[in-house]
């Protein structure tokens, strides 16, 4: 019998050998989503197979899971197609909140069928009346008395009527609260799903266990337009009989608290509020909904102060053990107030949550001397405790500390965070927003572990006060630290990019950029994780290719576009930040209010998304917004040119960086206007809007004519001032007359040489300088410009101990050591050095162009990026004139490979390939 079974298994293995295998399966490009916002989902799957494996057909089946029954609702039948991403559902209407499973099988290029995949799950988000119901909290909107409007900043705080208005805010509005309810489940549970929104942020627990592993949920938004809810399958957390739910609420950006600490702004969308519905399906086919209502109760939480900008205080003596468990005595708690709903539309959150992604232990520590304590008290403008210890955690990051310590009830420790230190070895927050700190008051004499819930900061150093480390003198009987670490928080969008090369500078530069991106990849792409935390928009498109090479932005980037659309004014204007928590409207700040290079993310990002993922849904959805914006720009133009905004922000020279100094603001704004129009032509053509395409093309031609008439000097063959940004922008955009193109290139190269083969560009000009050089065969010059330790350059930051990308090329002059806006070179690493390029004639990266640049003294490069189809990896090496390259492509993907010295490409398909050539 065993022998027969063994032979049968061998036969089965031989039959399946070489067949394609379905691996990762997605719905709306997400893994097993619980609340997709469409009833017409698109499916995707990755494949594994032998070299050259390619799909020739597929078949999909979708099933509705109701209780113990599984009913097939759609069978696509066999469809001849190589398409394995964004395959549209074409069955009968799907029901919200129903659990669906689906499976797929495929046929390879030889017509051989795979096995059916394992089933994957998805659910359609609730809609209609389900998204109504009670929002609850501690105070009503009227009682809260929050001033209307947003972005009250330092220019307004001292205005008497503004100050008085904020002083009238009810104190309960600023306090963190706990909410709870008990509920009984009389029958055996088949499945349970929670839909929850707690504003500003919440932490949900069921029967004492935290639900999910997100921090700062839900993601930030313009709460007057969009409010996100999260969905969790909590089947394994509830039980037949008595149960309890508890929710901890914090303010976040929903109500920014100032107190006596640092705050960039004040904004009050409303008091803390909670909406929740739990759907229980029983095994007998019945169901019920448990929801927020006036039967819930609330009490103050142990968080006595919290601010997204200022920090957090926690008094563990105020904890109420078992508060989120069944049977807890809540007789002294207060009835909740049923509040009015937020103005924004309740929307399922598809983008990934922010999580604690990494931990960093103490690298070194220094006990401040009495002299240092006295001096630091003056320099930091706060009383530094004599017990102060400076901890170097070794990595600058966005996050908060987590501490475990043991002491006596009532003892308090303070943690002051910073990314730099003063001359006295104390935490220095002068440039990043002070005062920001955390305090923790012990509950017992047992070891206790804590980290903040509703505040974070950008820091490398922790100044610990009121505690000692084991083995250290402790005459005052201070609490003893058993452990302390940095929690690195960032968006949990999957990372799929890797880059390294034989140049230590460039490899380290990629790491600097990576850590800065992570630090600022929160609910939005922030500028910095400390003083602002605002979603400055230019970073998204200027760093867009690098971001897309490194991260899965399939569900994150649509959220960014939603933020922008929500911030757009009725006249079409798009501000510089989204969500727009602050309006830069005072004198001298006009450039910060709106700038064409910032707003361009609305138009450019959807196209980058389309090129990377083959998905034109963002272009289609936001096309009306895009049209409204370029039409608005037309109202600001004179002779078809613009002359406002920030220009090439933070360009480089013998001056402190800030507003563009090397390049005319109007030149940069008008070039951006032309770029927007070119993208609008492409978008209109893609959507079949021929009249729009013709209109935008005609206007683009007028802009180019006016641009060349005003900014091009035919005698010098320079644009504008002849700066690098002045010439790089029109070169990249194809605005230069054909007979003048080489002369402008020569001038650009000449200016780079005149500056010691160094750049003079800033936030905007960097990308266009880098692309202008790469697109014109000047990668060797790019390498020479960046493979060094001088300023301006990434290597100079390394010389000064930076572990994240700094705001200025010279970090000694900048106010932040954790910005990613200058990280545009990541695009060059992947696109030019590794040579991984999207075939623009075939968006989606199912077909690639691989054309590595072999430059300078580089001897090796390796780059990897994750596509919808799987990982693409390129690794090349050279020794003298000998060049070899290893290319790995996922199944169902092809590429044209251009080897150095060869003008004709080599066609390769899926699998691993090794090619070689002579460098001529």
Question: How large is the average pLDDT for residues 564-593?
Answer: 90
For 473-571, strand residue ranges (E) read: 480-491, 498-501
SS3 185: strand
Question: How large is the average pLDDT for residues 598-619?
Answer: 98
Quote the pLDDT of residue 12: 36
Quote the pLDDT of residue 18: 64
Q: How far apart are CA 48 and CA 455, in angstroms?
A: 43
pLDDT of 371-400, one tens digit each? 999 999 999 999 999 999 999 999 999 999
pLDDT for 719 beyond 50: yes
pLDDT for 122 beyond 90: yes
- What's the token pair of residue 753? 């040489």
Burial 815-836 (b: 16+ CB within 10 A, else e): bbbbbbbbbbbbbbbbbbbbbb
Q: Contact 894/850 with Cβ under 8 angstroms?
A: no
Quote the pLDDT of residue 811: 85
CB atoms within 10 A of CB 483: 12
Question: How large is the average pLDDT for residues 819-847?
Answer: 97
* Strand partners of residue 337: 137
Quote the pLDDT of residue 755: 98
Give the single-character DSSP code of 113. Answer: B
Per the listing, tokens 């904004």 go with 267
Q: How far apart are CA 801 and CA 364, in angstroms?
A: 15
Quote the pLDDT of residue 883: 97
- What's the token pair of residue 589? 């700040």
Q: What is the largest CA-CA distance in the chain?
A: 92
Q: How far apart are CA 860 and CA 875, in angstroms?
A: 7
CA dihedral 849, 855, 857, 863 (to 10 degrees): -30
Give CA separation, 536 vs 502, 510, 524, 599, in Å: 34, 22, 9, 9
Q: Contact 263/257 with Cβ under 8 angstroms?
A: yes
Mean pLDDT of the chain: 95
Quote the pLDDT of residue 587: 65
Distance from chain centroid for Cα 738? 40
pLDDT for 305 beyond 50: yes
pLDDT of 418-470, one tens digit each? 999 999 999 999 999 999 999 999 999 999 999 999 999 999 999 999 999 99
Nearest to 131 by CA among 432, 347, 442: 347
677: preceding bond cis by omega (within 30 degrees): no
pLDDT band at 67 (very low <50, low <70, confident <90, very high): confident
Question: How large is the average pLDDT for residues 165-185?
Answer: 96
Q: How far apart are CA 22 and CA 31, in angstroms?
A: 14
Quote the pLDDT of residue 5: 33
* Strand partners of residue 248: 178, 203
For 38-155, strand residue ranges (E) read: 42-48, 55-66, 69-75, 79-80, 87-88, 99-108, 120-123, 135-137
pLDDT for 586 beyond 70: no
pLDDT for 839 beyond 50: yes
With left for phi above 0 and alpha for psi between -120 and 50, is residue 252 left, alpha or beta?
left
Quote the pLDDT of residue 464: 98
670: preceding bond cis by omega (within 30 degrees): no
pLDDT of 609-649, one tens digit each? 999 999 999 999 999 999 999 999 999 999 999 999 999 99
pLDDT for 307 beyond 90: yes
pLDDT for 3 beyond 80: no
Quote the pLDDT of residue 7: 33
Quote the pLDDT of residue 328: 98
Give CA separation, 613 vs 493, 650, 838, in Å: 15, 32, 10
Q: How far apart are CA 342 and CA 268, in angstroms?
A: 12
Question: How large is the average pLDDT for residues 270-274?
Answer: 98
């Amino acid at each position: 019998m065993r022998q027969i079974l063994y032979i049968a298994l061998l036969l089965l293995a031989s039959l399946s050998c070489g067949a394609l295998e379905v691996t990762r399966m997605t719905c709306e490009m997400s893994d097993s989503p619980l609340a997709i916002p469409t009833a017409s989902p698109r499916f995707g799957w990755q494949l594994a197979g032998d070299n050259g494996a390619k799909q020739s057909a597929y078949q999909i089946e979708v099933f509705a899971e109701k209780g113990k029954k599984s009913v097939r609702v759609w069978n696509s039948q066999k469809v001849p197609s190589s398409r394995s991403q964004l395959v549209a559902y074409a069955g009968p209407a799907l029901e919200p909140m129903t659990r669906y499973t689906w499976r797929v099988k495929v046929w390879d290029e030889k017509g051989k069928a795979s096995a059916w995949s394992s089933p994957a799950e998805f659910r359609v988000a609730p809609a209609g009346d389900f998204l109504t119901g009670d929002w609850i909290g501690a105070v009503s909107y009227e009682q809260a008395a929050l001033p209307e409007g947003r972005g009250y900043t330092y220019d307004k705080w001292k205005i008497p009527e503004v100050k008085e208005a904020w002083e009238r805010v009810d104190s309960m509005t600023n306090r963190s609260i706990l909410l709870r309810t008990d509920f009984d489940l009389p029958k055996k549970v088949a499945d349970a799903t929670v839909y929850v929104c707690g504003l500003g942020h919440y932490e949900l627990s069921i029967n004492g266990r935290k639900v999910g592993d997100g921090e700062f949920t839900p993601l930030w938004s313009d709460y007057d337009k969009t409010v996100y809810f999260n969905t969790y399958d909590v089947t394994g957390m509830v039980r037949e009989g008595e149960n309890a739910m508890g929710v901890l609420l914090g303010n976040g950006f929903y109500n920014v608290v100032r107190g006596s600490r640092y705050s960039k702004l004040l904004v009050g969308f409303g008091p803390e509020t909670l909406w929740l519905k739990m759907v229980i399906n029983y095994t007998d086919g019945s169901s019920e909904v448990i929801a927020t209502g006036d039967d819930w109760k609330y009490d103050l939480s142990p968080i006595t102060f919290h601010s997204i900008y200022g920090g957090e205080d926690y008094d563990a003596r105020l904890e109420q053990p078992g508060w989120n468990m069944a049977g807890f005595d809540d007789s002294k708690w207060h009835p909740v107030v049923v509040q009015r709903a937020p103005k924004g539309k309740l929307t399922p959150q598809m983008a990934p949550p922010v999580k604690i992604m990494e931990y960093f232990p103490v690298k070194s520590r220094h006990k401040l001397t009495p002299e240092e304590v006295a001096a630091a008290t003056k320099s930091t403008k706060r009383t530094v405790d004599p017990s102060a210890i400076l901890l170097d955690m070794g990595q600058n990051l966005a996050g908060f500390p987590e501490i475990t310590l043991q002491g006596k009830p009532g003892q308090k420790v303070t943690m002051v965070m910073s990314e730099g230190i003063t001359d006295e070895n104390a935490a220095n927050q002068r440039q990043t927003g002070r005062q920001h700190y955390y305090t923790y008051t012990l509950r017992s004499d047992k070891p206790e572990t804590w980290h903040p819930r509703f505040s974070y900061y950008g820091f490398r150093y922790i100044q610990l006060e009121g505690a000692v480390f084991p083995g250290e003198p402790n005459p005052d009987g201070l609490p003893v630290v058993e452990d302390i670490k940095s929690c690195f928080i960032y968006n949990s969008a999957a990372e799929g990019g890797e880059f390294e090369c034989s140049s230590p500078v460039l490899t380290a530069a990629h790491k600097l950029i990576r850590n800065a991106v992570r630090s600022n990849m929160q609910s939005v792409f922030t500028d910095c994780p400390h003083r602002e935390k605002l979603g400055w928009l230019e970073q998204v498109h200027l760093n867009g290719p690098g971001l897309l090479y490194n991260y899965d932005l399939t569900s994150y980037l649509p959220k960014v576009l939603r933020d922008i659309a929500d911030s757009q004014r009725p006249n079409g204007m798009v501000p510089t930040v989204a969500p727009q928590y602050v309006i830069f409207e005072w004198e001298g700040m006009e450039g910060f209010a709106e700038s064409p290079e910032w707003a361009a993310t609305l138009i450019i990002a959807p196209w980058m998304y389309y090129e990377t993922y083959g998905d034109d849904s963002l272009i289609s959805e936001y096309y009306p917004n895009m049209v409204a914006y370029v039409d608005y720009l037309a109202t600001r133009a004179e002779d078809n040119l613009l002359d406002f905004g920030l220009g090439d922000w933070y360009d480089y020279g013998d001056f402190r960086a800030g507003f563009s100094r090397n390049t005319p603001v109007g030149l940069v704004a008008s070039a951006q206007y032309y770029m927007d129009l070119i993208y609008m032509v492409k978008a209109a053509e893609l959507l079949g809007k021929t009249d729009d395409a013709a209109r935008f093309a005609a206007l683009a031609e007028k802009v180019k004519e006016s641009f060349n008439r005003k900014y091009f000097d035919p005698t010098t063959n320079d644009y504008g001032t002849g700066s690098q940004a002045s010439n790089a922008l029109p070169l990249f955009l194809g605005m230069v007359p054909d007979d003048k193109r080489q002369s402008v290139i020569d001038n650009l190269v000449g200016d780079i040489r005149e500056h010691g083969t160094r750049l003079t560009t800033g936030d905007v000009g960097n990308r266009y300088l880098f692309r202008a050089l790469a697109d014109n065969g000047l990668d060797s010059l790019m390498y020479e410009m960046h493979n060094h330790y001088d300023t301006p350059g990434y290597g100079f930051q390394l010389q000064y101990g930076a572990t994240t990308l700094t705001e200025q090329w010279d970090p000694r002059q900048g106010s932040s050591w954790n910005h990613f806006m200058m990280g545009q070179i990541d695009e060059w690493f992947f696109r030019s050095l590794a040579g991984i390029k999207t075939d623009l004639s075939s968006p989606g990266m199912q077909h690639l162009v691989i054309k590595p640049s072999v430059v300078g003294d580089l001897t090796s490069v390796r780059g990897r990026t994750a596509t919808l189809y799987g990982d693409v990896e390129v690794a090349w090496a050279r020794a003298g004139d000998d060049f070899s390259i290893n290319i790995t492509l996922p199944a169902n993907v092809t590429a044209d490979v251009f080897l150095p010295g060869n003008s004709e490409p080599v066609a390769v398909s899926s699998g691993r390939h090794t090619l070689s050539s002579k460098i001529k």
